[in-house]
Amino acid sequence: MEENRMKNIAILGSTGSIGTNTLEVAAHLGYEVSALAAHSNIDLLEAQVQKFHPKCVAVFDRERGEELKRRLPDTPIVFGMEGLVEAATLPEVDFVVSAIVGAAGIVPTLRAIETGKTIGLANKEVLIAAGELIMEAAKKQNVQILPIDSEHSAIFQCLQGESPSAVDRLILTASGGPFRNYSYQELEAVKPEKALNHPNWKMGKKITIDSSTLMNKGLEVIEAKFLFNTPVEKIAVVVHPQSIVHSLVEYVDGSLIAQMGVHDMRVPIQYALTYPERKKGISPCFDFQKWSKLEFFKPDLKKFPCLRLAYEAAKVGGTLPCFMNGANEVLVHHFLEGKIRWVEIGQKLETLMEAHKAYPQESLETLLEVDKEARTLAMTL
Q: From the annotation, which residues make up the binding site for Mn(2+)?
A: 149, 151, 220
Sign of CA dihedral 94, 159, 150, 341: positive
Q: CA dihedral defined by 93, 121, 367, 207, rounded to 10 degrees? A: -130
Distance from C-alpha of 90 to C-alpha of 83, rounded to nearest angstrom = 11
* Length of the chain measured in residues: 381
Residues in binding site for 1-deoxy-D-xylulose 5-phosphate: 124, 150-151, 175, 198, 211, 216-217, 220
Do 126 and 109 form a contact (C-beta atoms < 8 A)?
A: yes
Annotated binding-site residues for NADPH read 15-18, 41, 123, 125, 204
CA gap 89, 357 in Å, rounded: 35
What sections of the chain are H helices per DSSP? 17-29, 42-52, 62-71, 80-88, 106-114, 124-141, 150-159, 184-188, 192-195, 205-213, 215-227, 266-274, 305-316, 320-336, 342-355, 364-380
**Phi, psi values for residue 97, rounded to 5°:** -90, 115
Contacts of 140 (CB under 8 A, 6+ apart): none
Residues in binding site = 15-18, 41, 123-125, 149-151, 175, 198, 204, 211, 216-217, 220
The DSSP symbol for 61 reads S
